[in-house]
Amino acid sequence: MISVLLAIRYAIVGNIIDFNPIHNTLLEDIYHYLDNTQQMELAIDHSKELMEEVVSAKCLLYLGDNCGEICLDKLLLQQIKKINPDINLIFAVRGKPVVNDSIEEDGYFVGIDHYAQIIDNGDSSIGTVLKRTSQEFREVYENADLVISKGQANYECLSEEKKKIFFLLVTKCEVNANDIGVEEKRMICMRK
């Protein structure tokens, strides 16, 4: 059994599983991150604060990203349910296929539905562009008292939002790394 803090690390490391051609992700990079998850430092580590928020949250919206990484998101969802069995967990995916982002079918395939309700955001944008999402999704977003947002595209779309959001990602480009204030290829668990 893994700890909640380790599950957060695996969820972050999963973000390296991104076959969007602009990121040039190599299979060797994925193996390196997975093999060294426990030893790698987080450049920004708000994971203890995240767990404090999870304990008291009533509704958590988890914004998924790439289809491969949701297997590791499932580990974190399992741990969240253990520390707060009454939490309403909602896992959001893209409304339609785009690059290698997760869709509803992927969530069911890996068993996310055993821990969270799966919804789609009604849009096929890369990232969660709120004004393009469905009314149903926006209502869930507004009513959630806590949001976990995976990946760079979600960070780009939501980093200026006035909402309790924790961003879990690996910085895969210079622009986002500079905006966050870290180097590229660093692991981040950050409330902004």
Angle at 146 between CA 123 and CA 62, to 5 degrees: 40
Measured CA to CA, the distance from residue 122 to residue 129 in angstroms comes to 10
Q: Which residue has the tokens 């997760």?
A: 102
Contact 178/185 with Cβ under 8 angstroms? no
pLDDT at 16: 84
Choose among 16, 24, 4: nearest CA to 186: 16
What is the pTM (predicted TM-score) of this model? 0.94
Supply 12's token pair. Answer: 């972050």
Q: Tens of pLDDT along the chain (192 residues)?
A: 689 999 999 999 989 876 665 555 667 877 777 788 888 899 999 999 999 999 999 999 999 999 889 999 999 999 999 999 999 999 999 999 888 899 999 999 999 999 999 999 999 999 999 999 999 999 999 999 999 999 999 999 999 999 999 999 999 889 999 999 999 999 999 998
Set out the domains of the chain in order of their start, with CATH numbers. 4-191 (3.40.50.10880)
pLDDT at 37: 81
pLDDT at 99: 84
